[in-house]
Structure 1
Amino acid sequence: MSPNASQLSALSRLFSPGVFREISQKGQSALFARLFSQTGIVGRSNQTVADAFDAAFAILRRAGYRDEYVYRAALTQNVLLGTHSLNSASMLTEFRAGSCKADLAILNGTATVYEIKSERDSLTRLENQINNYKKVFAKIYVIAGEAHVNSVLSNTPLDIGVMCLNRRSHISKIREAVDRSESVCPITIFESLRADEARSILNDLGVIVPDVPNTILRSTMRDCYAQLAPKDVHHAMVRTLKRTRSLAPLSEFIERLPLSLRPIALSVQIRNTVQQQRFIEAVSLPLIKAMDWK
């Protein structure tokens, strides 16, 4: 099928946190039923809900229709789960970096951020995004479709890595990113963290946090960060976030999901095992039953 604008919107929204959470919490989703009916996909009699998600994803993967979720799926499968594992690496989505939010970052030995520029995106904000990412992440990659690659190469500094997602959804590395951990901004990193994570990093670096009221704790810790070496803070951030935001507890759940649903599962991160089982059972149901979900 060649989806129109309305159908394309419905296809993308099927992979939204709202649908994922609703299924895991209720074992059904009226939003899923409504969106799938709007996609124009003709379901088969033996099709399950998981099959329906896969069919929708297959359409989104076609060149020209690909949205951010398709790129995130490629990074998840090829980098996070392909090169690394959930036991050795962690992934951050929508992570604050200055005035921007990073599409996806992977923490392994270092912190690498991936800015997605799909066929549906423009490059107007890219310069500002890169300037903000440099304050938090050691390595920056821009991953784009073939139509954007030359523009990305021409309009980004040589230390910024560039990747291409081709028509077959394979990722190729066009330019290697340079590790710049010594140039991050400790204060910007601090502002991206939860209070417990910020304190843990200070403890890791041997800095004693003054015993002050909670009302001024963050400003006190901020002053501490201002005195630290960028590279030390960056490395401590990686160690801390790999622990506090570990994805290892999700490993078994992720393995039971079809490839099309793994990126949203890693983003929403349902850690309640009852909800995980409820989700697995729901997507195993026949699609014809799911279309009656209310």
Structure 2
Amino acid sequence: MQKKNDYFEYAKTLSNQYSTFLSNEAVKHKVLNIFNGQIPLDQFNSDLKPREFLNAFLLHHYPNETTIKSTFVNKVLFKTSNHVSIFELNVGKSRLDLCKINANSTAFEIKTELDTPKRLKQQMENYFRVFEKVYLICSVNNIKNMLPFIPNECGIYTYHITKTGKYIFKKNRLAVKSSYISPAAQLSVLTKKDLNSFFGCPNLETKDSMIDSIINNKTNKDINKIFKQSLKIKYRYKWEFLVKNSSDILEIDYQWFFRNTLSPEIVYL
């Protein structure tokens, strides 16, 4: 049997090999191959199926972006209603990890212990131009490395993982409403079809010309309001599908099911 201090590398390998669409038999084969034919169930429920074991093992031993994102969704975003949350949205030159839309628009950027702050300053600039509130989600062990790269207005969630693999999230600092919001940056997040549907803008030759037209005909306040409404409408079905089926979906697969909205019964064959 492998030692616990080796588990990180095994979990990393399994994460790289895993795909939601793998059959249960294929998942079993990969797990058994990693552990030389014997699944180490000493730390988990012995009744776990190979896919369930893989989920639990990755959550416990490989806290990468996928596992942090899914546990934050599970422990924070699922706990409140009347909002639509979105996985991975292109914002400026960055890809936002998560956002939540209700009366306000809130962005969440994840930095794990495996991450550096290399892109964080640019990411913050992009997010503060589009969202009313911005939060950094960061490991307690890595927060000191990230603090110099975020503005004072940025809220902070920290997390740590207990010895039993439980994730604990704590809101350390409240976000301050952004004073840098740019209507052009908000509109650029949407497609030409969105600009036509939600803002009533004629389908002009370029997206930039449509954005200019909207800015010339609507106030910044109206653009912000419609921007939030458009994201809620556009992604409501995907989010509600995930919430409704969450008890049948493994945490590491949340984002995949959000994108594809296929029945877990069919996918987990």
TM-score scaled by structure 2?
Answer: 0.81
Aligned 8 A contact 1:210 1:220 in 2: no
Instruction: Identify which range, 227-236 or 102-111, moves more after superposition.
Output: 227-236
Secondary structure of 1:144 counterpart: strand
Which runs of 5 or more structure 2 residues have no equivalent in the other structure?
A: none
Change (3 A) 1:117 1:251: closer
Aligned 8 A contact 1:104 1:114 in 2: yes
Whether 1:220 aligns to 2:213 is: no
- 2:55 is aligned to 54
| Aligned partner (choices 21, 31, 35) of residue 36 of structure 1 | 31
Change (3 A) 1:9 1:35: farther
Q: In the comparison of the two structures, how many residue pairs are matched?
A: 253
Whether 1:172 aligns to 2:170 is: yes
Aligned 8 A contact 1:10 1:38 in 2: no
Aligned 8 A contact 1:111 1:137 in 2: yes
Output the CA distance in 2 between the equivalents of 1:211 and 1:105: 28
- 2:244 is aligned to 252
Output the CA distance in 2 between the equivalents of 1:94 and 1:199: 23
Deviations 1:126-147 (A, max 9, x none): 1111011112111111111112
Which runs of 5 or more structure 1 residues have no equivalent in the other structure?
A: 204-208, 283-294
Percent identity between matched residues is 19
Q: How many Å apart are 1:92 and its aligned residue?
A: 1.9
- 1:119 is aligned with what amino acid? E
- 1:235 is aligned to 225
Output the CA distance in 2 between the equivalents of 1:29 and 1:225: 53
Change (3 A) 1:271 1:123: same
Whether 1:264 aligns to 2:264 is: no
Deviations 1:51-100 (A, max 9, x none): 3233323433xxxx42112210222012220123xxx2222222111111
| Aligned partner (choices 73, 78, 88) of residue 76 of structure 1 | 73
Output the CA distance in 1 between the equivalents of 2:7 and 2:161: 20
Aligned 8 A contact 1:163 1:173 in 2: yes
Aligned 8 A contact 2:187 2:227 in 1: no
Output the CA distance in 1 between the equivalents of 2:85 and 2:180: 22
- 1:109 is aligned with what amino acid? A
Output the CA distance in 2 between the equivalents of 1:271 and 1:221: 31
- 1:161 is aligned to 155
Deviations 1:113-161 (A, max 9, x none): 1111100001121111101111211111111111222333344221111
Counterparts of 1:89-104 in structure 2 under 5 Å?
89-104=83-98
Q: How many Å apart are 1:6 and its aligned residue?
A: 4.7
Whether 1:110 aligns to 2:104 is: yes
When the two chains are superposed, the root-mean-square deviation of aligned CA atoms in Å is 2.7
Aligned 8 A contact 2:137 2:156 in 1: yes
Output the CA distance in 1 between the equivalents of 2:47 and 2:172: 42
